[in-house]
């Protein structure tokens, strides 16, 4: 998709529903400094969705879509789960893969795009739940990292299989009793960031979606590093409020409670020297802005 192609034929402009007119006029395609602060002042790439009221995943989705550096040239690959209910509603190319196959599909897609459009930057971003990433699709996830496939993998970690009723997943915390896991989890939560580091990811981050600034920074890093250097992995806690017995307004607090010092979603970030050098050389923009502010303060 190219921004130039996102235009309504003038003969039909007046009859198009207003959300499409807004998408053309007021969406942030082609804007290099796009970010979460555009939410509310410009047309978002996510429309009405079918997630539960108050679902933290919908907040994460909004912030991620607002943070993609190059949405008009990005293809997202999803998998079975709550995320697959949202993908049909986003103004971005996306592919729904079979359950767990998302990293294998993304590998082929990224290579095909590089072959078909050698002169264009095409980003591929996998976004799937913990069931698809860590349980059913663990093989495909790890193999894509071993092969150094150049795309970002984002895992929405809600610590269980949410839309099928609360079965135990590899990322469920030890001892948690789910609606469909009455005996309680017997094993530790899989250390997926650790696996990502040892499997060859050049950038790894674990966070919640409670801080949009942080989500923006992490997503931007993950996509840009994956574009040139190699695989990246981001794990975001998006609690399923229904399955952990919370009310719709309690999702944000649940994320805040889980990211404190020593908690299981305490912020972690890892970047290889190669990726760090690349980011400093090629994408120093935001850092420069910060420097200018510091210089002014000194003056």
Partner 1 sequence: MEKYRVLPGPEAFLPPAAACAGVVLPDPGQGHIHGEIVPEDAAMEEAAKRFLSAKVPTIFPGPLVLWGWNENAEQKATAIKALYDVLKSHNNGALLIPMPDYRPKYPKIDPEIEINPNHPNLTIWHNKIDVCMFVGVHCHQANMSLKIIRGGTSCYTIAMCAQAGHEDAMITFRDATPEKIMKLVDAVKRLKDSGASNDVRGTA
31, 39, 54, 89: residue in contact with partner 1 (rule CB under 8 A): 89
Shortest CA distance to 94 belongs to which of 76, 67, 69?
76
39 binds partner 1 (CB under 8 A): no
CA dihedral 140, 141, 147, 148 (to 10 degrees): 150
| Closer residue to partner 1, CB minimum distance, 16 or 244 | 16
Residue 252 sits at φ, ψ, to 5 deg, of -65, -45
What is the edge-to-edge ordering of all strands in the sheet holding 232-237? 93-96, 74-78, 123-129, 152-157, 232-237, 203-208, 268-271
CA angle 44/95/54 to nearest 5° reads 45
CB 76 within 8 A of CB 125: yes
Q: By the 8 A CB rule, do 172 and 241 touch?
A: no
DSSP class of residue 97?
Answer: P
- Among 25, 26, 37, 50, which residue sits at the site for partner 1 (rule: CB under 8 A)? 50
Q: Which residue has the tokens 């949405």?
A: 71
**CB of residue 8 to partner 1, shortest distance in Å:** 6
Q: Which is nearer to partner 1, 5 or 288 (CB)?
A: 5
Minimum CB distance to partner 1, residue 26 (Å): 16
Task: CB nearer to partner 1: give 58 or 144.
Answer: 58
Task: Using CB under 8 A, pick the residue from 5, 116, 288, 296 that binds partner 1.
Answer: 5
Residue closer to partner 1, measured from CB, 92 or 142? 92
* CA atoms of 116 and 112, how far apart (whole Å): 6
Q: CA neighbours within 13 Å on the CB side: how many for 34? A: 27
Which of 26, 33, 37, 47 touches partner 1 (CB under 8 A)? 47
In angstroms, give the least distance from the CB of 127 to partner 1: 17
Q: Which is nearer to partner 1, 117 or 187 (CB)?
A: 117
Q: Among 16-24, 56-64, 182-190, 213-221, which window interacts with partner 1 (CB under 8 A)? A: 16-24
Could you tell me the smallest distance in angstroms from the CB atom of residue 13 to partner 1? 9
Instruction: State the virtual CA torsion across 225, 226, 229, 233 in degrees, nearest 10.
Output: 90
Q: Which CB sits closer to partner 1, 12 or 115?
A: 12
Contacts of residue 229, defined as CB under 8 A and 6 or more positions apart, other chains included, come to: 150, 202, 272, 274, 275, 278
List 3, 6, 257, 267, residue binding partner 1 (CB under 8 A): 6
Q: Which is nearer to partner 1, 5 or 296 (CB)?
A: 5
Min dist. Cβ of residue 105 to partner 1 (A): 20
Q: Is residue 25 a contact residue for partner 1 (CB under 8 A)? A: no
Which range binds partner 1 by CB under 8 A, 46-54, 144-152, 157-165, 287-295? 46-54
Report residue 130: phi and psi, to 5°: -70, -30
Instruction: Provide the phi-psi class of 191: left if phi over 0, else alpha when psi is between -120 and 50, else beta.
Output: beta
Rg (CA), the chain: 19
> Which residue number, 21 or 70, has a Cβ lying nearer to partner 1?
21
* Site residues (vs partner 1, CB under 8 A): 5-12, 15-17, 20, 47-50, 88-89
């Amino acid at each position: 998709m190219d921004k130039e192609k996102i235009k309504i034929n003038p003969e039909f402009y007046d009859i198009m529903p207003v959300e499409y007119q807004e998408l053309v006029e007021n969406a942030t395609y082609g804007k290099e400094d796009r970010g979460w602060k555009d939410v509310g002042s410009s047309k978002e790439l996510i429309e009405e969705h079918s997630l539960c009221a108050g679902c933290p995943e919908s907040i994460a989705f909004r912030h991620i879509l607002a943070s993609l550096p190059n949405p008009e040239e990005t293809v997202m690959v999803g998998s079975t789960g709550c995320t697959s209910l949202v993908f049909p509603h986003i103004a971005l190319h996306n592919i729904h893969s079979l359950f767990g196959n998302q990293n294998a599909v993304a590998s082929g897609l990224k290579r095909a795009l590089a072959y078909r459009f050698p002169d264009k930057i095409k980003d591929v971003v996998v976004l799937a739940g913990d069931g698809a990433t860590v349980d059913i699709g663990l093989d495909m996830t790890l193999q894509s990292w071993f092969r150094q496939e150049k795309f970002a993998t984002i895992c929405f970690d809600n610590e269980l299989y949410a839309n099928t009723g609360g079965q135990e997943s590899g990322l469920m915390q030890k001892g948690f009793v789910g609606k469909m896991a009455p005996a309680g989890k017997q094993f530790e939560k899989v250390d997926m960031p650790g696996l990502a580091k040892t499997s060859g990811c050049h950038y790894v981050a674990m966070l919640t979606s409670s801080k949009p600034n942080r989500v923006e920074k992490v997503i931007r890093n993950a996509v840009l590093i994956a574009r040139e250097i190699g695989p990246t992995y981001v794990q975001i806690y998006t609690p399923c409020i229904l399955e952990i017995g919370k009310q719709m307004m309690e999702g944000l607090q649940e994320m805040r409670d889980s990211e404190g010092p020593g908690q299981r979603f305490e912020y972690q970030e890892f970047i290889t020297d190669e990726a760090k050098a690349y980011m400093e050389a090629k994408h120093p923009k935001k850092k420069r802005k910060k420097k200018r502010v510091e210089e002014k303060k000194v003056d």
